[in-house]
Amino acid sequence: MSLIAPLNFLFAGLLGVVLLLYVLRLKRKERVISSTFLWHSALRDLQANAPWQRLRSSLLMWLQLAFLALAIFALVRPSIKVLAAGGQTIAIIMDASGSMVATDVQPSRFEQARSEAGRLINALSTGDQATVISSAAQTRVLAPLTADKNILKKAITSARTQDTGCNLREAIVLASSLLRGKQNPQIYVLSDGAVAPINDLSLGKVGLQFVRIGKGNENLAITAMDVRRGYGANTNPQIFVTASNFSSHEKSVNLELSHDNDLVEVRPMTIPAASEKGPGQQAQLFGDLTFQQGLFSVRFDADDDLKTDNAAYAVLSAPQNLKVLLLTNGNTFLENALNLDPHVQVFRTTPGDLAAAKAKGSYDVVVCDGINSPNLPDTNQLVFNTVTDLSPVTKVGVASAPSVADYDKKHPVTRSAPWNDVRFTQAIAAQLKPWGQAIVEGEKTPLIVAGEQKGRRVVWCGFDLFDTDLPMRVAFPIFVTNALRWLTAQRGATGPAEGSALRAGEMVPLMVPPGIQEITVTAPDKTSRSIPVSASPVAYDGADRVGVYTATGRVGKTDWKQVFAVNLLSKSESNLQPGVALKVENTNITAETHARANRELWGYITLAALALLGLEWWVYHRGSLWSPDSLVTVFRKLRVRST
C-alpha cells in the first residue's frame, strides 16, 4: 500500500482535541440541600462533567474517534498496486531494441516483457480496450485499439526484436495520440530503460508507467570498427577496433580477425572494468593487411549477457582506378596531393585546353582550382575558390580571415584530419543550398560543403589554397584522398568507397545496374525479400539484424551481386544497466517491477466513516446510552432493549 498525500496525517491532531473535550467537563456551582435522595442522577451528571477527571469509556467517544481517524485516513489517499484496473484504455509499448535480447533474466529480457504484456492483457475487464506497439529504430503498431484479447495476444506473440536502438519518444507520442479522449488512458512502457531523457513531450491526462525489465550489466561489446585504406603509396587496408567492458570487473578475451571466414590473427586483450566515467575500453589496430578486398570480421567469445555485440563485420571493395581532370593555371600542392594515390590518374589542363581534354574521354572527378568554366564535364567535382553550376552554395560576398568554428569528425571527407588550427587569409562568404551540408564551419561562413544532386557529388572549398596554410599540413593530402574516395563512392552511401561498418537500422543504398527489374536481399538468418527496382540506388530499409547481407539480381545472362555488413556498434544498447526511472520532460517516472495500476481506497474509507457517523447519531439519540458505562455494559443494555 502507498499513500498519495501523506502530509494530511497532520490532521491527526484532531484526535487529541476530541479526547480533550471528554476530559474537560463543565464545572457546576455547589449548593447545600437537605437530602440527596432525589439527586442521585444529578450527582452522576456532576461527576461526568467534573473538569480534569479520569477519562471514562464512552461508546460515543470511541465512535467519534473512529470516524475522525477514518476521515483522516481518507485524506491521505491510500492506494494499492493492482493489475490494470477495469474501465481503462491502455497502450502497451514493448521495447524491441538490441539490449532486450540480453539473457540476464531468463530466457531473455524481451521474453519477460512479452510475459508482462500477457499479464496486462489477461487482466483486462469487459469494456476495456488495448493496443500493442513495438518500439525499436522504427515504431510499429502490432495491434490497433481493440477489446479482443485474442488479437492482442497474437500481436504480442508476433513481436520481434531488432538489433537497433529504441525510439521510445516516437512510440509514446503515437500511443498518447491513440489514447487521447479515451476512458482512463494509461501507457505501459515495458523496457530496460536504456534510453536518453525524453523531451518535448506532453501527455496531458494520459498516464504513463515504466515497467523495468532486466537486472544485470555483465557485458562486453565491440563498440567501434572502422576499415580504411592507407594514404599515399601504401593503400593496404587497416582495421581499427574498440572493445568496451560494461561490467564491474576486468575481463580478458581473445580478439579474432577473419577474412572471408578464414582466421587471420588472434590477439589477447585485457579490458578494464567500467567506472563512473564510463565503460572500460581497449583499442586494437590491425595494419598493413595484404588483402585488398573481401569480408572482414572481428569477434571474441565472452560469457556475457548479450551475444549480438560480440562480433562486427565490414566489407571492403576492390580499389578503384580513378581518372581525374585537374583544371588549373598551376598549383603544385594540389597536383602532388592528387598524385599520392597510385590508383588515381591525373590529367592536367587549362581553360584553353578544356575542350581537347574532354574529347579524350570521360573522367570520374573534375578538380576546379579557382576556375569556373561553362563547359565542365558532367561528373563529380572537387572545387576550390569558385562557384560552379553544381556547387551546393550561393556566393554572397567575401569573408576576411575566417577561423574554423567546428567540423564534422564523422563525415568521410573530413575525418582522420584535424581542422581546428588551419588558418585562412580570406574566403568566399556563401549561403548553403538546401542539399548542401557544411562539413567545415567558419565563424562567418561555411568553408567546406559537401552535397549530392542529380546523381552527381561535389565537395566545395570556399578558399584559395594559396590563402591558407592547409597545403603545409598533414591534413591536406588526407583531405584530398578522402574527397576523391567519397566523390566516387556509391551514391547515397554514408561511408567511403571501401564501405565502413554500417549500423543496424540504417538505410542501405544498393547500386543496381540498369536493366535489372527486381533484386533479392538475403538476411543473416537466411530469410529473403524481393524488391522491385524503379531507380538506382535502391533504398533497402530492412537491415535490422547484425550480420552479412547479400543482394542479387540478374539482367540477361549477367548476374549482379552486392554484399554489405550490418553491426550493432552502440554503447547505449550494449550498456545493459537497467534504468531506475524514465525521465520524461522534468518528471522521473519511477520504475516498477510489474505492470500495476494505483487503485485508491479513499472512497471505501469515506463510506465506512459515514456509516460510523450515522451510528454515532443513532447512539446519541438513544438517551440512556449517553453514560460513562463501559462498552460491555452499553451493548448489554442495547441487547436487553431489543428483546
DSSP codes joined into one string, 517-570: -EEEEE-TTS-EEEEE-SSSSEEE----SSEEEEEEEEETTEEEEEEEEEE---
Q: Does 169 map to a domain?
A: yes
User: Angle CA(529)–CA(535)–CA(538) in degrees, nearest 5?
Assistant: 40
> Does pLDDT of 84 surpass 80?
no
Count CA atoms within 13 Å of residue 239 on its CB side.
Answer: 28
Residues 243 and 263 grouped into a single domain = yes
Q: Does 177 map to a domain?
A: yes
> What pLDDT was estimated at residue 545?
93
Domain-terminating residue out of 319, 336, 366: 319
> What pLDDT was estimated at residue 493?
40
Position 483, amino acid: A
Residues 132 and 272 grouped into a single domain = no
Question: What CATH number should be reported for the domain holding residue 206?
Answer: 3.40.50.410
Give the whole-angstrom CA distance, residue 569 versus residue 547.
12
Residues 36 and 128 grouped into a single domain = no
Residues 190 and 232 grouped into a single domain = no
Phi-psi sector, 99: left (phi>0), alpha (psi -120 to 50), beta = alpha
> What pLDDT was estimated at residue 1?
59
Query: How many domains does one find in the chain?
Result: 4
Which pLDDT band holds residue 624 (cuts at 50, 70, 90)? very low
User: Angle CA(564)–CA(566)–CA(568) in degrees, nearest 5?
Assistant: 170
> Does pLDDT of 133 surpass 90?
yes
> What pLDDT was estimated at residue 635?
53
Residue 483: name the closest of 555, 590, 561, 383 by CA.
Answer: 383
Burial class (CB in 10 A: 0-12, 13-18, 19+), 356: exposed
Sequence-separated (6 or more) residues with CB below 8 Å from residue 137: 97, 162, 164, 165, 166, 167, 504, 505, 544
DSSP 424: B
> What pLDDT was estimated at residue 594?
66
Which pLDDT band holds residue 292 (cuts at 50, 70, 90)? confident
Judged by DSSP in three states, 346 sits in strand
How much is the average pLDDT of 187-208?
A: 84
How much is the average pLDDT of 614-622?
A: 76
How much is the average pLDDT of 165-170?
A: 90
Q: Does 572 map to a domain?
A: no
Residue 494: name the closest of 564, 560, 592, 553 by CA.
Answer: 564
> Does pLDDT of 475 surpass 70?
yes
Structural domain of residue 171, as residue ranges?
Answer: 84-216+577-595
Count CA atoms within 13 Å of residue 388 on its CB side.
Answer: 31
> Does pLDDT of 520 surpass 80?
yes
Q: Does 505 map to a domain?
A: no
Question: What CATH number should be reported for the domain holding residue 258?
Answer: 2.60.40.10
C-alpha cell at 206: 494520459
* SS3 per residue for 392-418: CEEEEEEEECCCEEEECCCCCCCCCCC
Quick one: how far is CA 143 from the chain centroid? 22
> What pLDDT was estimated at residue 195?
81
* Beta strands 89-95; 185-191: pairing state: parallel
Judged by average pLDDT, the poorest of 2-6, 28-32, 83-87, 277-281 is: 83-87
Give the whole-angstrom CA distance, residue 7 versus residue 507.
54
Between 517 and 56, the higher pLDDT residue = 517
Residues 281 and 358 grouped into a single domain = no
Residues 331 and 455 grouped into a single domain = yes
Are 293 and 259 spatial neighbours (Cβ–Cβ below 8 Å)? no
> What pLDDT was estimated at residue 492?
41
Residues 303 and 346 grouped into a single domain = no
> What pLDDT was estimated at residue 424?
95
Residues 338 and 474 grouped into a single domain = yes
Residues 233 and 335 grouped into a single domain = no
Between 259 and 47, the higher pLDDT residue = 259
> What pLDDT was estimated at residue 455?
78
Mean pLDDT of the chain: 84
Q: Does 526 map to a domain?
A: no
Cα Rg for the chain, rounded, in angstroms?
39
Which pLDDT band holds residue 531 (cuts at 50, 70, 90)? very high
> What pLDDT was estimated at residue 483?
94
How much is the average pLDDT of 378-404?
A: 94
Residue 573: name the closest of 1, 31, 110, 27 by CA.
Answer: 110
> Does pLDDT of 616 surpass 80?
no
How much is the average pLDDT of 308-327?
A: 90
Position 605, amino acid: I
Which pLDDT band holds residue 590 (cuts at 50, 70, 90)? confident
How much is the average pLDDT of 111-129?
A: 89
> Does pLDDT of 601 surpass 90?
no
Residues 334 and 479 grouped into a single domain = yes
Residues 73 and 117 grouped into a single domain = no
* C-alpha distances in Å from residue 317, one per residue of 40, 290, 314, 320, 535: 115, 14, 10, 9, 23
Domain-terminating residue out of 262, 288, 319: 319
> Does pLDDT of 516 surpass 60?
yes
How much is the average pLDDT of 626-631?
A: 48
How much is the average pLDDT of 462-476?
A: 94
> What pLDDT was estimated at residue 400?
94
> Does pLDDT of 383 surpass 50?
yes
How much is the average pLDDT of 490-505?
A: 57
Are 225 and 286 spatial neighbours (Cβ–Cβ below 8 Å)? no
Between 52 and 504, the higher pLDDT residue = 504
Q: Does 536 map to a domain?
A: no
Residues 405 and 283 grouped into a single domain = no
Per-residue model confidence as pLDDT tens digits over 354-368: 888 888 889 999 999
> Does pLDDT of 610 surpass 90?
no
Q: Does 380 map to a domain?
A: yes
> Does pLDDT of 625 surpass 60?
no
Position 297, amino acid: S
pTM of the model: 0.69
Percent of the chain with pLDDT over 70: 83
Percent of the chain with pLDDT over 90: 49
Question: What CATH number should be reported for the domain holding residue 338?
Answer: 3.40.50.880
Q: Does 499 map to a domain?
A: no
> Does pLDDT of 91 surpass 50?
yes
